[in-house]
Amino acid sequence: MTFVDLLGRDGYEHELIGKIVEQVSREIKPLTLHVVEYRVGLEPRRQNVLSLLNVGCDDRVAKVGIHGIGGIGKTTLALEVYNLIVHQFESSCFLENIRENSEKHGLIYLQKIILSEIIGEKEIELTSVKQGISVIQQRLRKKKVLLLLDDVDEQKQLDAIAGGNDWYGLGSRVIITSRDKGLLLSHGVESTYEVHELNKKDAFELLRQKAFKTNKVCPNYADVLNRALTYASGLPLALEVIGSHLFHKTVEQCKSTLDRYERIPDKKMQTLLKVSFDALEEEEKSVFLDIACCFKGYDLTIVNKMLHAHHGDNMKDHIQVLVEKSLIKITESRSVTLHDVIEDMGKEIVRQESPKEPGKRSRLWCSEDIVQVLEENTVSE
């Protein structure tokens, strides 16, 4: 029986054609996803994540977590890896902005996307998260799938959409990006990769591409570029934002822009970076602001002693949380440090407590503000 015979016999041509079109659309949908135009410094990072995934090993299911501070390039790296390996899987799904979509639409919404992308069913009725978990387990356990779960920030999200390794068929891989390494470890993610700042060469290349969009840079801009590189400290988000603001500007205009950045951080970067701060408990926020404003570069032992009087025995736990959420780092020499842009974010939070009257702020670090407050005796209670 021919295809034409089938159409003519049952009289439901439009319905059958609709189903065929839907099936063909699923089959020919593009496998790869769009990645940012500028992919500076990605190659060695990509190779590291690929080695952790070990895609050729089909006798197990594996999860790999990619973590680091906001704006460091976790999603870009994950998408690069996803595009390289997605053709090796029976089905795939990229679930983006999980933190944001979970808040706006709920976990059932995320579960429906996974089922729709992997199973191909557009209208899936779920009445609860528990039902969604059961359906995902049933539908995926015999499939070799690739999942990319982007920007996870709560355990309940992983419980609802990532589950255990027994949810998936052998050979499946799950890539999870998060700012919180502790969250990945508590979920049982076998391997994690921390994304670090770009080295100076790659940082310069990214800044040059965004600021000039050409290989030729006028020597007059050398000081401007050095200032921008110092301020951004290898953070891709900062380099892209600053580079975009410097584009098509004179040297003097560039200097003015950088002066403004150093005085008041860019709102876009503040908003993105502040997400990690907002997720902290109140005491954790207080410890972070103490470190950002006053104790960057201090020895960990000294920081513990200085803050113990105010925060008590929970100090070590709070610092560990800040490390896991990529807000601070403990160096090999056991000193406490944090990225310059993260430091600026913390200081700006405190500055906003009272933009015009330093004496009403909870912390002071600028010598001019301290002198002013002492001379005018404007310290708040």
Whether residue 42 contacts residue 83, with contact meaning beta carbons closer than 8 Å, is answered with: no
142 phi and psi, to 5 degrees? Answer: -110, 10
Positive or negative, the CA dihedral 306, 309, 310, 311 is positive
Tell which wins on pLDDT, 55 or 19. 55
Mean pLDDT of 129-148: 94
What's residue 134's pLDDT? 95
CB count in 10 Å sphere of residue 155: 12
Q: Kindly report, residue by residue over 120-134, the tens digit of the pLDDT.
A: 877 788 999 999 999
Lowest mean pLDDT among 90-99, 134-143, 180-189, 366-375: 366-375
In terms of phi and psi (left: phi > 0; alpha: psi -120 to 50; beta: otherwise), the region of 335 is beta
pLDDT > 60? residue 27: no
Whether residue 315 contacts residue 308, with contact meaning beta carbons closer than 8 Å, is answered with: yes
Strands (E) in the chain, as ranges, are: 62-67, 91-95, 145-149, 173-178, 191-194, 329-330, 336-337
Task: Specify which of 2-16, 178-192, 349-363 reaches the highest per-range mean pLDDT.
Answer: 178-192
Compute the half-sphere exposure of residue 35: CA atoms within 13 Å on the CB side of its CA: 18
Percent of the chain with pLDDT over 90: 55
Q: Tell me which fold the domain 280-376 belongs to.
A: Arc Repressor Mutant, subunit A (1.10.10)
Q: What's the rounded Cα separation, in Å, for the pair 275 and 285?
A: 12
Quick one: CATH architecture of 31-194? 3-Layer(aba) Sandwich (3.40)
What's residue 23's pLDDT? 53
Q: Kindly report, residue by residue over 219-264, the tens digit of the pLDDT.
A: 999 999 999 999 888 999 889 888 888 888 899 999 998 888 877 7
Q: How confident is the model at residue 314 (pLDDT cuts 50, 70, 90)?
A: confident
Q: What's the rounded Cα separation, in Å, for the pair 82 and 46?
A: 10
Q: What's the rounded Cα separation, in Å, for the pair 79 and 34?
A: 8
